[in-house]
Structure 1
Amino acid sequence: MALTKNQAILKQKCPRCRKGDMFTHSTYDLGNFQKMHKNCPVCGLRYELEPGYFWGAMYVSYALNVAQSVILGFLTYYLFKDPSAWVYLSILIGAIFLFMPINFRLARVLMLHWFSPVKFDHRYL
């Protein structure tokens, strides 16, 4: 049984076959978290559909960072009763670095699953 689109996004799988891994190493292998397979190991889909395709993922990553920062800002305000600016900055900058590998990967996965012409192919079931 094939993964749903949301499951494939969360597990960082190929958008066409939903079986092949997109990345070569684990998320928190900090020296290699950004390394992707050039092609899907299962169906052979080339992930970088055109030169510079993943430049668009920077915008997706930016949106993820903004959403996380707004949520953390509100949580900081309510949990710490409106602390000083240094507390906000420390929490937000720490969170940005902590979530960086996740946001990097998720942005690329979302680019392929949501914004590319690649569709799920039922032949790979």
Structure 2
Amino acid sequence: MERRGLTQAIIGAKCPQCRKGKLFPVSIFSFRKITEVNHYCDNCGANFQPEPDFFYGAMYISYAFSVALVITTFVAVGVLFTDPELWMYITPVIILNLLLFPAMIRYSKVLYLYLVGKLKYEEPKS
């Protein structure tokens, strides 16, 4: 049997319990149903939404992603340019937030489910 590592499962947005089923019904590159999460794992049947509005807590992780992006962008602009103007800080932050929005939303939910969800990995039986 193939064993999938934790990092590989998180990056692939797979089920925390079996690490094979998909967490999201559509691709990360699709802007349709960008915030929708499957209710159950299509492989092992694990419940991804143990309570109503479970993923509201993922907003804190998404906020942390946005803050890290802003700080990183500000530092990069400050290092790369001599005496940058205000628009040189704001423009990259807006563009990067728009481009990375789907990934930040999805991975905040993935990390929240892995950290707070009560699903634990079960080794496949051979």
**Pairwise TM-score range, normalised by the shorter structure:** over 0.9
Shift of 1:100: 0.6
Number of residue-to-residue matches in the alignment: 125
Q: TM-score, normalised by structure 1?
A: 0.93
Shift of 1:7: 0.9
Of the structure 1 ranges 57-66 and 35-44, higher mean CA displacement relative to structure 2 is found in 35-44
In 1, are the aligned partners of 2:26 and 2:32 still within 8 Å (CA)?
no
Of the structure 1 ranges 70-79 and 13-22, higher mean CA displacement relative to structure 2 is found in 70-79
CA RMSD of aligned residues (A): 1.4
In 2, are the aligned partners of 1:57 and 1:111 still within 8 Å (CA)?
yes
Shift of 1:124: 6.4
Within 5 Å, give how 1:42-53 maps onto structure 2: 42-53=43-54
Shift of 1:32: 2.8
Structure 1 distance, partners of 2:50, 2:82, is 48
Structure 2 distance, partners of 1:95, 1:33, is 17
> Which residue of structure 2 aligns with residue 95 of structure 1?
96
In 1, are the aligned partners of 2:62 and 2:105 still within 8 Å (CA)?
yes
> Which residue of structure 1 aligns with residue 11 of structure 2?
10
Residue 41 of structure 2 corresponds to residue 35 of structure 1: no
Q: Structure 2: state its 5+ residue gaps.
A: none
User: Could you list the runs of 4 or more consecutive aligned residues of structure 1 that deviate by over 4 angstroms after TM superposition?
Assistant: none
Structure 2 distance, partners of 1:81, 1:65, is 25
